[in-house]
Each structure stands twice: as structure tokens, then as C-alpha cells.
Structure 1
Amino acid sequence: MFKLNKSVNIMVVVFCVLFLSACQLQRTAPEESLEQRESALQPKEADSTSILLNEILELANIGMTLGSQINVLESKMEQVKAEWGEPDKLDQAGKGSYATYDGKRVAVGFNEAGEIFDVRSYANSLSELTPAFIKETIGQPDQVRNVNNEEIYVYELNQMIELKFIIPNNSKAVHHLSILNQDRVNVDKTKEVYVLDIKGQSNQLTASAWESMNVWRKQIVAFAKEHENVYINGPNKKQVALTFDDGPDDNVTSAIIDILDKYRVKGNFFFLGSNAETYPDVVIKAYDGGHIVASHSYNHVELTKRSQEEIQTEIEQAGQAIKSIIGKEPAILRTPYGETNKQVAAIAKQEEYSIVLWSIDTLDWSQKEASNIVSNVMQNVRNGDIILMHSDSEKTATVKALPKLIEALQKEKFEIVDLETLLNVKAYQ
């Protein structure tokens, strides 16, 4: 009897344990099932997005993007039209053009020679890509640009190709892609490239300073040849442009404007934003006289030694300072000291600025005599020269030299024009 009761007790205990375990499973099963479903779904979604992103990267490396066979390394616009017909929309952008094909959800950028330099995809699947996932999957971008309420992730690939993800600030996902071939941007290979060496000298420079200047001159000329928005000189026409940096001030700049007006020629003033705010009446005088009011940054800092954000701030702050005075933001920038690199050129371009340097340096900041200023120009002048002078308060010798310089140039039948005329670029935004 004892043994039977003991067996019954054991069975009862086992039954209770099983019953309680079943009850516990009933309570926890729904929660565990939800977690399992989420964990099962997430890898599938991540896999799908990873496949898309890897496809984009593979195509970009060979110059292509989603939704087309167009290649920024070798395709031409005539081939696109032969396959797709006329575009739904055609827009000018700088010196290039963009053709939009709505049905393909693709826009194509091409230069004057008809070469494709940019293909943009607006595929619906791009909305799956978030900034965090892009960085996690293919790493940090080489550049992050902020333009027109958009954040642009730039990845520099091979053969001058840039892969760009454009993400509106009010969105958490990619709006469109761009595959850009910098080597083809705005290149017209049917025309001869006319880029001048930089001339002008001073006997006040040390041997090392002169050597450094010559090294920089060669480097910046080579750089300008590779970047369509950087200018050293104008075309091979009997025209020149007179440019003045570092103003305005309360004396020299006004005197220069008066001389230009007297001879009925146009000048180009690269004003510092900080100085423009101090002397707004002089800025207005230059603008009202029909002279170009351009930007020389806000604080005259060496932009190549600044961060992307600092470069952008210098350009934007100067532009807004000038706009607050004349009602227009400049579209021409001269970088302080002429120092320009790939990052500076890219940011200037996204801010819709042409960078205009010079092909003759009068060195009015070094050997300041009026005679040297004139001889530096007249012994070196060529078609299309952009002539560098300064209009800050110390440049009284420049004021003395200017009438003689204008008369000498006119005697040699050079037309003195503004940069908008010389370079065929817009002066204002």
C-alpha cells in the first residue's frame, strides 16, 4: 500500500510540473514568437538592401548605375538618343546639359562634345537606403557635402569616378544617385585648350620665396586644366581683365573705381566679406558703376588648410555679406593666396561659384613701385590675360599705376572687359 501511494504521489508531482510548464509556455510563447519573427525578417531585409547597395557599388566602379546601360567612361549622348529618343526635359547646368528621361527614372549629364559625364538614377528601390546603412556597409564617405537642403555622400572610386548618394534633409533615405566622371565634366575635345603660364616678378622676393612661387604657379596651372570651374585666363582673344583683391577700403578702392569710370572700362573687385560689411557704400559704388563685385572669402584664410565645413562657411558668409549690400550673391570666387585644391574646387562648385585666379601677377604687394606694376603687365601681356592687383588701403602705388596701365593696354589694342564677358561665366547667382 505504501509503494502504491508513493507511485501515485510521484505521478501527481510529475503531472503538476508538466501542467505548470505548459501554462508558463502559453504565457511566454507569443512574446518569443514575435522576437523570432522579427529576427527572421531583419536578416532578409538587410540582405535585400545589402544586395542593392553592392550592385550599386559594382556598377559605379565601371561607370554605370541602376536602370541604364549608359557608361560615364565611354557613352555619348547620340547613343542615348538613338536608344531612348528625345528626352522629356533638357536643362543647362554650368557649361554642360542634363537630359531627363522620366520613364527610365534617369537623368543624363553631357558636355559640349556630347560625352556623358553624369548619370543619375531615381529608382524607387533607393528609398531602402539610409545614411546609417550606407556607412555601415561601404564605410565612411570621402566627403559629405551640404547643398540646397540636401546631404550628399561622396565616394571617390577609380578612374575619376564619384559615387554620390543624395539625401534630402527632411528625409531619412536616399532620393537619387549620381555617377560622375570628373575627367569628362565640361570637356570639349574639339577645341584647343588655351591655358597660360603665370607671369610677373619682383626683385624684393628672396630666392626661396621666388622658387616656392614658381612651384605653386606650375601646380595651379596644371590643377586648373583638370577642373572645369577653375580659371587662370580667358580665351585666345585680344581681351584682358583687370582684377583687384582684398578691398574694399575707405580710400584706394574708391580711387580705383573713379579711374576705371574715367577711362570707361570695367573692373573686377574680389571683396572680402568682412571688409564689405565695414564699407558697404564702396561696394555699392563699384556695383552701380557696372563693375563686377566678386568674393574673396569672408576672412582671407587659406582655405586648403580648413575643414569642409569651414570652407563652406567662408564662402557662404562672404556671399551673404555682399548680397545684403547689393541684393545679389556673387558667382565668382578668388581663393585667398590663390590656394585651391580638389576639396575647395568641389565645394565652390556645389555653391555655384567659378574660381577665377590670374595669369599675370603685378606683385603690387611686393615690389610696389608704379613702374614695376606697369612693366609686369606690358612685358608679359597676352590674349586672355587676367591681371592681378589689389585695392586695400596700402596699395597707393596701384592707384598711380592704373591710368598708365590702361593707356598702355589700349595703345596695344587690348579690349579691357569684365570677367563675365571674358570667361562667359555668370557673375551673380
Structure 2
Amino acid sequence: MILFSFSTIITACVSQTPHQSNNVKPKEIALSPKDVNRFSSNFLDELMDWARKGTVKDCPFNAFDSTIEQVKSAWGEPDTVDQAGFGFYAAYTKRNIVFGFNKAGEIFDVRSFTNDLKEISDQMVVETFGQPAELNDNNNETIYVYDVNQDIQLKIITPNSIKTIDHISVFHPKRAESSNDYILDIKGTSNQLAKSAWASMQKWRKDIVHFAKNQENVFINGPNIKKVALSFDDGPDQVITPAIIDILAANHVKGNFFFLGNKVKEHPDVVKEAFNYGNLVLSHSYNHVELTKLGKEAVRKEIVDAGQAIKLVIGKEPAILRTPFGDTNAQVAAISKQEGYSIVLWSIDTLDWSQKEAKNIVNNVIDNVRNGDIILMHSDSDKVETKMALPMLIEELQKRNFEIVDLEDLLNIKAYQ
């Protein structure tokens, strides 16, 4: 029951704020003569008491200061995670609870689908709480919004066909709106770049960070927790990529390989090896061209062809794309989303393609590393120094107590479709 209900309301009250256009002016709700029974009144009062604490009954996590990582640590992985608006929703079906959390992993919405709610009518709600601050009609259901305090809203959702409560939402609007607040500047330097090239790179970095802040499916970094991800572009090949796979395995670390579709066809054995060792095999387009210079269908073809090439080898189509050169605009982001892809860029560029020395690669990371960093390296055939740098880099990150994880873990997004 909860899975069906969750799927039908995901767009209904996920990210509504008092300023959205589908809000309607609160109106007086006519009550029938039916009295609210004692159970209903006590139950609703209890809901309000829990809402003041930012949560629902039988849930130790709240919308004030809890994170989805804390939930996973205590309850394990959710049954489903869906993306909606600028947030994500994790369903724990056996517990009848769903958590909304932002890109930083902060919980801003705690929902209850407990069966006891089905006994409460909308009339009982208004009799107990009075007229709502807002009354929203959305997708054949009505959302009664009550201001609990300056931070928390209690939303009560009733299907129009039934008029009893389907679920409730304890919602923290400010926390929801802060989903993109933790976006890092992109770090990394090279002494091999001309001044004009460096200036151009700096401008791109500033522009892409600003762009990502306003795109729900474009990521620069992960949340403000002590985790980082290692990513490798432009493979596979027959020498460097296998060596990197071996280094990751020897150190019990997972990597993220953004492979080119045309190279996947040339080296399927290496792709299988990367996947079988538990690394993520992701898309870097088919031909490594600047996607922003292509028409819509050409962009789509680059994404689809790469995804299909990978699927033929590992049996799964990726759900994460890294655009070549990080070249991304609104059209590319929209088409990627239509095809089921999140775009994941990077917050540290080791510049192993420019100043290739292993020492510089390591220093670019260790001198700049922050919580949630996504680290860019490459695994094509001329990256001998990257291969040499990787064991030192892993060791230094672990000395600093950073957990090295894959992007699915770091970003709470699906790796495969």
C-alpha cells in the first residue's frame, strides 16, 4: 500500500512552499454535525506533539538535525529512493515511513503512512486543528498545511475520492530549500597551463558551479560528510585501466569509471573486470565530443549509444553520465534527465592530463580535500603517472580518515537504470 501511495504523491507535496502557484487561498471548510471521537482527537493531538519535535510517531529521526546517513546506519538501506524536485525520497515500507532529504543528506521531510491515519477524516482534522494556514489542491488530493512553529509545517494529505488521511508530512521548508547550499568550488592547479587557458578554466569552473546549483540532476560534489569519491575518465584501455582496477582492489576501495562507448566496444573484457570488482561502470558519452555544440537528437544519440554499449557488456545501463570536458548546459541536462541520467562532474581536478607528475596529482587532492569531494582522474593509455599516484593518494586520504566510496553511496543516486 505504501509503495503505491508514495509513487502517486511524490510530485504532490514534495517541495511545495507557501510561494508556489498551485496554492489556493485558504477557505472555510464546512463541517458535518459528526463529532470527533475521543480516539481521533487524542491521535491528532499526538501527531501535533510529534510534529513539534520535527518527526512522526515511532521515528527517532527528525527534520531539524537528522541525516539520511544516520537513518541508513540504524535502519539499513531504504527499499526505494526516488528523486523529486531538488530532493530525494527514501521509503522504508515496513516501517510506513518515508524521508525527504537534500543533496547534503539532510532530512527535511518525515512522512508517515501508518494505517491508523486511514481512520481519520478531513473533517476530524479541521475540528481538532482549526482551519489550515494553506489548503492546496494537487493531483486529485487535498493538502492541509498547518504551521507548527517557525520552522515546521504539518501537512495532512487526503485523497479527494476518500476524504480520509493517506499520509502526513512533517516538513522543514528552510532545510528543503538549502538542498544546494553545500556546493564546493572546483580545486586543482597545473603549471603547464598558459595564462589564457587557466583564465578560461577558472571562468568555466565558476559558471558550472553556479549552473549546478540550479539543476536537480547535476552534481559537483557530495554532502558535507567525511566521504570522497575517486573517478576515472576516458577509459577503458588495455594497460592503465586494468592497473587502476588492481590498485583499487588491493586497497579495498571502489572507484567510478566513466567509460567512452566506442572504447567499451574495443575492450569489453576490461569493462567486465571493472564491474566484477565492484566498481561503478558509468557513461562518458560515446565519442567524447562537446555535447553543448550538438543538436538535441545528436546529444541524445551520444548518451543512448554509450549506455547501450555498456549494457551489452555488464547487463546494466548506467544512470550516471559525466559530460566530456564537463561541457554541460540546460539542454544537455534536460536530455540527460529524460534518458534517466544524473550528470556528475567533479570538485577536485587532479589535472593529470596537464601536469602529469604523480606528486602534483597527489598534492592537488591532499592540499584541497574537503568533505564530499569528487576527484577527477583519467584511466586512458598515457596516464602512467596517475597509476603511480593512486596508491599514495588512497593512503593519504585514509590517513585523514576520509572514507572512499562510490558515487551511488556519496550522492544517494542510482548508478544503474
Q: Same fold (TM over 0.5)?
A: yes
TM-score (norm 2): 0.61
For the 8 Å contact 1:95–1:111, the answer to whether it is kept is no
Distance 2:81 2:267 in 1: 36
Q: Which residue of 1 aligns with 2:329?
A: 341
Distance 1:418 1:111 in 2: 19
Cα pair distance change 1:207/1:352, threshold 3 Å: same
Pick one of 347, 353, 369 that aligns with 2:341. Answer: 353
Deviations 1:346-396 (A, max 9, x none): 000010100000000000000000000000000000000000000000101
Distance 1:258 1:364 in 2: 19
Q: Secondary structure at the match of 2:282?
A: strand
Deviation at 1:92, TM superposition (A): 7.0
Distance 2:138 2:364 in 1: 46
Instruction: Tell me which protein shows more helix as a share of its residues.
Output: 1
Deviation at 1:95, TM superposition (A): 3.6
Distance 1:92 1:290 in 2: 21
Does 1:303 pair with 2:250? no
Cα pair distance change 1:411/1:324, threshold 3 Å: same
Deviation at 1:227, TM superposition (A): 0.1
Q: Which residue of 2 aligns with 1:94?
A: 83
Q: Secondary structure at the match of 1:337?
A: helix
Deviation at 1:73, TM superposition (A): 2.9
Q: Which residue of 1 aligns with 2:260?
A: 272
Q: Secondary structure at the match of 1:270?
A: strand
How many positions carry a matched residue from both structures? 277
Distance 1:350 1:275 in 2: 25
Q: Secondary structure at the match of 1:189?
A: helix
For the 8 Å contact 1:362–1:388, the answer to whether it is kept is yes
Q: Secondary structure at the match of 2:176?
A: coil
Paired residue type of 1:345: A
Distance 1:339 1:120 in 2: 37
Paired residue type of 1:326: I
Cα pair distance change 1:72/1:317, threshold 3 Å: farther
Deviation at 1:93, TM superposition (A): 4.5
For the 8 Å contact 2:22–2:138, the answer to whether it is kept is no
Does 1:389 pair with 2:336? no
- RMSD value, Cα: 3.3
Q: Which residue of 2 aligns with 1:73?
A: 20
Pick one of 239, 243, 263 that aligns with 2:227. Answer: 239
Unaligned runs of 5+ in 1: 1-69, 84-90, 99-109, 122-186
Q: Secondary structure at the match of 2:318?
A: coil
Counting aligned pairs with the same residue, the percent is 62
Of the two, which has the highest radius of gyration? 1
Does 1:326 pair with 2:273? no
Cα pair distance change 1:291/1:92, threshold 3 Å: closer
Deviations 1:42-84 (A, max 9, x none): xxxxxxxxxxxxxxxxxxxxxxxxxxxx99934469x89x99x
Q: Secondary structure at the match of 2:340?
A: coil
Q: Secondary structure at the match of 2:376?
A: strand
Pick one of 340, 350, 354 that aligns with 1:366. Answer: 354
Distance 1:191 1:340 in 2: 21
Unaligned runs of 5+ in 2: 1-16, 31-79, 89-99, 103-107, 110-133, 141-174
Q: Secondary structure at the match of 1:428?
A: coil
Pick one of 208, 218, 224 that aligns with 2:196. Answer: 208
For the 8 Å contact 1:247–1:271, the answer to whether it is kept is yes
Paired residue type of 2:415: A
Matches within 5 A, 1:273-288: 273-288=261-276
Distance 1:190 1:397 in 2: 39
Cα pair distance change 1:276/1:192, threshold 3 Å: closer
Paired residue type of 2:251: Y
Distance 1:288 1:299 in 2: 25
For the 8 Å contact 2:186–2:347, the answer to whether it is kept is yes
Q: Which residue of 1 aligns with 2:161?
A: none
Q: Secondary structure at the match of 1:300?
A: coil
Distance 2:399 2:184 in 1: 22
